[in-house]
Amino acid sequence: MSTYSEEHQHFLKKLKRRKRSVVLTQILIIVLFLVIWQLLASFKLINTFTFSSPWDVIKTTIHLFETNQLWNHIGITVYETLLSFLIAGIIGLVFATLLWWFPFLADVFDPYLTVLNSLPKVALGPLIIIWVGASMHSIIFMALMISAIITIINIYNGFVSIDKDYIKLLKSFHASKKQIFFELILPGNRGNIINALKINISMSLIGVIMGELLVSKEGLGYLIMYGSQVFNINLVITSVVILGIVSYLMYYVINWIEKKSS
């Protein structure tokens, strides 16, 4: 026998129907876009040399798979992104904690974080190559420059947004700063930290692709750059499509972790 009331069961069914409708609509939009794109290409209403087509993307993907390039390039980009994501997440949490723990440091570094976050990272690409070298290290460094700063800012803003009355209440019971942080600040920012990680994973991917465009000989960013250099638009668009799928899967994993931890 169900422990839920009839009204609550009706609400849950309605919620499930809405989720299914959202997913089906999302799939329908993608399918409709691909069908229209293919029809325009098939009836030569668009130039497939510059716009490619879904069928050309499929053929290019098959070619990459048959030549043992597909998983190698995807694997390199995913590895670099996950490594950057983990490092940026640790840096963001540690530095945000230090800024909350020492308000003087927060006041000192606030303008520097804003300036660093607003710098055009691509313009620093040549300097990064000189400093770190034309290797995977420069790609990771580029990704960290993009993702770490914004992660620090987002997590720290969540820390300081906790209701001051709760902090005063704990202090009235003679709670230490350590107890306040681990019993109030950190648990109260679980959702904020997850949201920061969602932004972090996308920023890390952007940074990795930017780095691969500059120095890499492997990865999806390299395929995009190489395809544009030899005017192989099919390879460029195929790489972008694969990149979109990889980005969605990474976001889905973070979203799944959020649901499991709630």
167-205 per-position pLDDT tens digit: 999 988 889 999 999 999 999 998 889 889 888 998 999
Residue 139, both tokens: 């790609």
Q: Angle 233-261/70-101 helices, nearest 10 degrees? A: 50
Long-range contacts of 153-157 (CB under 8 A, 24+ apart): 153/113, 153/117, 154/92, 154/192, 154/195, 154/196, 154/199, 155/92, 155/93, 155/96, 155/189, 155/192, 155/193, 155/196, 156/95, 156/96, 156/99, 156/100, 156/106, 157/192
SS3 231: coil
Same domain, 42 and 55: no
> In angstroms, what CA-CA distances link 177 with 54, 131, 153, 222, 247?
57, 39, 21, 48, 39
**Residue ranges of the chain whose pLDDT lies below 70:** 1-4, 262
Same domain, 1 and 115: no
Give me the amino acid identity at 130.
Answer: I
Same domain, 137 and 183: yes
- The pLDDT assigned to 123 comes to 79
* Distance, CA of 173 to CA of 179 (rounded, Å): 11
CATH of the domain at 67: 1.10.3720.10
Same domain, 6 and 71: no
Same domain, 215 and 253: yes
- Number of domains within the chain: 2
Same domain, 150 and 40: no
pTM equals: 0.86
Domain that holds residue 15: 1-46
Same domain, 150 and 243: yes
- The pLDDT assigned to 159 comes to 94
Same domain, 64 and 179: yes
Same domain, 228 and 203: yes
* Distance, CA of 98 to CA of 104 (rounded, Å): 10
Task: Phi first, then psi: give them for residue 2, nearest 5 degrees.
Answer: -75, 140
Same domain, 41 and 56: no
Residue 49, both tokens: 């040399």
Same domain, 132 and 218: yes
SS3 172: helix
- The pLDDT assigned to 262 comes to 66
- The pLDDT assigned to 34 comes to 94
Same domain, 27 and 62: no
- The pLDDT assigned to 3 comes to 57
8 Å CB contact between 216 and 75: no
- The pLDDT assigned to 1 comes to 45
List, in order, residues 6 or more apart from 78 with CB less than 8 Å away.
246, 250
- The pLDDT assigned to 220 comes to 94
